[in-house]
Amino acid sequence: MNLKSEYASISMIQGLFHSNSSLSLESGESLPEFELFYTTYGQMNASKSNVVWVIHALTGDSNVTDWWNGLIGEDKFFDPSTHFVICANLIGSCYGSTNPLSENPNSGKPYYYDFPQLTTRDQANALECLRTHLGITQINTLIGGSLGGQVGLEWAIILGGKLSNAIILASTAKSSPWVIGFNETQRMAIESDCSWGNEDENAGKKGLETARAIAMLSYRHPEDISRKQQETYSKLDDFKAASYLRYQGRKLSNRFNALSYWTLSKTMDSHDLSRERESLESALQEIEANVLTVGVDSDLLFLASESQFISKNVKRGTYKEIQSTAGHDAFLIEFEQLAYILKSFYLQQ
């Protein structure tokens, strides 16, 4: 990706986009107004050809250099001294954008459980509003993994010729019953929390701990957990694996909330590019951009074959695979492999 920067310094800017226009949703509902919190790194060049738009996964935020610092940052593959990197917090998430704890302008009270159902297409439409607001006429690269990849596919269709490259990591054209089933067990865990149903920001907090523990089992591979959580001697209780999952549950519940988790997991379930289109294949054919899909050989949640399906059915598709025991989360961990894959992809352009 031979994009030259005209700026000596790297800047980070955080902004809040407020839309007074109603966002119509696929459910038939609407958000009378909405906000998107976003972060940008670097500056757009004169030709506006260096835009890299990142879409975060389920519990991510707009501070992409925090959670993807092996790929984005100074001297990394996407360096803000060369690229103009932008990431917006998805609607429904609790990191600055409109979410279930936001005030419902129709009632003057938080939405809580009245927050409308969102789909990946709704999310893409909201991002398109932000793009227009920022005056970004061309996106060089759109990149996202998991839920971010699902939203990215929907947005790639909307963007048409305004997008040059789409990089879709460990994701799908349609959520499988397997993914939906895992998400439902997590929501069942949240429902079992006696505080769920209360109009309180901490409602479902303990249930969210369990939900995250379930999710971690789907994000990792058995080999990875065995290697890292294996006991050094025989014991009857207090196993490393149990402590690890409880720790991960507490860690997430201290930074996220159950209402946002519920909303975004439902968003993931909704993902289906073929909805109101002829088929998945014909929907993928609508994407004008060069598409790189990256699967993970050990991913038990979003199978590598699902990434291959995308690359086979778009107009200009390439498939590459990460070799890792880390499972689904490998796209957030295996930076060296990913950087090599990306370099090869851009050299083909």
Q: Using one digit for the tens of pLDDT, what is the confidence trace for 274-327?
A: 999 999 999 999 999 999 999 999 999 999 999 999 999 999 999 999 999 999
What residue numbers bound the domain in which 27 lies?
A: 12-176+276-347
261 within a domain of the structure (yes/no): yes
Q: Give me the catalytic one of 56, 83, 221, 328.
A: 328
Q: Using one digit for the tens of pLDDT, what is the confidence trace for 135-158?
A: 999 999 999 999 999 999 999 999
Q: Give me the catalytic one of 122, 224, 269, 299.
A: 299
Q: Using one digit for the tens of pLDDT, what is the confidence trace for 174-189?
A: 999 999 999 999 999 9
1 within a domain of the structure (yes/no): no
Question: Per-residue pLDDT for 3 more than 70?
Answer: no
**Claim to verify: residue 26 and residue 111 sit in the same structural domain:** yes
Q: What is the mean pLDDT of the chain?
A: 95
Q: Give me the catalytic one of 146, 253, 265, 311.
A: 146
Burial profile 139-152: b = 16 or more Cβ within 10 angstroms, e = fewer = bbbbbbbbbbbbbb
**Claim to verify: residue 318 and residue 213 sit in the same structural domain:** no
7 within a domain of the structure (yes/no): no
Question: Per-residue pLDDT for 9 more than 70?
Answer: no
**Claim to verify: residue 166 and residue 190 sit in the same structural domain:** no
Closest CA to 293 of 285, 280, 304, 301: 304
Q: Do 6 and 45 form a contact (C-beta atoms < 8 A)?
A: yes
Q: How many domains does one find in the chain?
A: 2
Residue type at 329 in one-letter notation: D
Give the predicted TM-score (pTM) of the model. Answer: 0.95
**Claim to verify: residue 198 and residue 122 sit in the same structural domain:** no
Crossing angle for the helix pair 258-270 and 147-159, nearest 10 degrees?
Answer: 50
Q: How many other CB atoms sit within 10 Å of the CB of residue 176?
A: 14
5 within a domain of the structure (yes/no): no
Residue 52 sits in a domain of what CATH number? 3.40.50.1820
Question: Per-residue pLDDT for 1 more than 90?
Answer: no
Is 133 one of the annotated active-site residues of the chain?
A: no
6 within a domain of the structure (yes/no): no
Residue 217 sits in a domain of what CATH number? 1.10.1740.110
User: Of 267, 292, 322, at which residue does a domain stop?
Assistant: 267
Mean pLDDT, rounded, for 53-68: 98
Instruction: Check residue 10 and give its pLDDT.
Output: 67
**Claim to verify: residue 134 and residue 171 sit in the same structural domain:** yes
**Claim to verify: residue 159 and residue 59 sit in the same structural domain:** yes
**Claim to verify: residue 102 and residue 136 sit in the same structural domain:** yes
**Claim to verify: residue 153 and residue 218 sit in the same structural domain:** no
Is 62 one of the annotated active-site residues of the chain?
A: no
**Claim to verify: residue 137 and residue 35 sit in the same structural domain:** yes
Is 297 one of the annotated active-site residues of the chain?
A: no
Q: Is 73 left (phi over 0), alpha (psi -120 to 50) or beta?
A: left
**Claim to verify: residue 213 and residue 340 sit in the same structural domain:** no
**Claim to verify: residue 170 and residue 210 sit in the same structural domain:** no
Question: Per-residue pLDDT for 130 more than 60?
Answer: yes
Contacts of 25 (CB under 8 A, 6+ apart): 31, 116, 117, 118, 119, 122
- Rounded CA separation 91/146 (Å): 16
Share of the chain above pLDDT 90, in %: 91
Question: Per-residue pLDDT for 231 more than 90?
Answer: no
Question: Per-residue pLDDT for 344 more than 70?
Answer: yes
**Claim to verify: residue 18 and residue 62 sit in the same structural domain:** yes
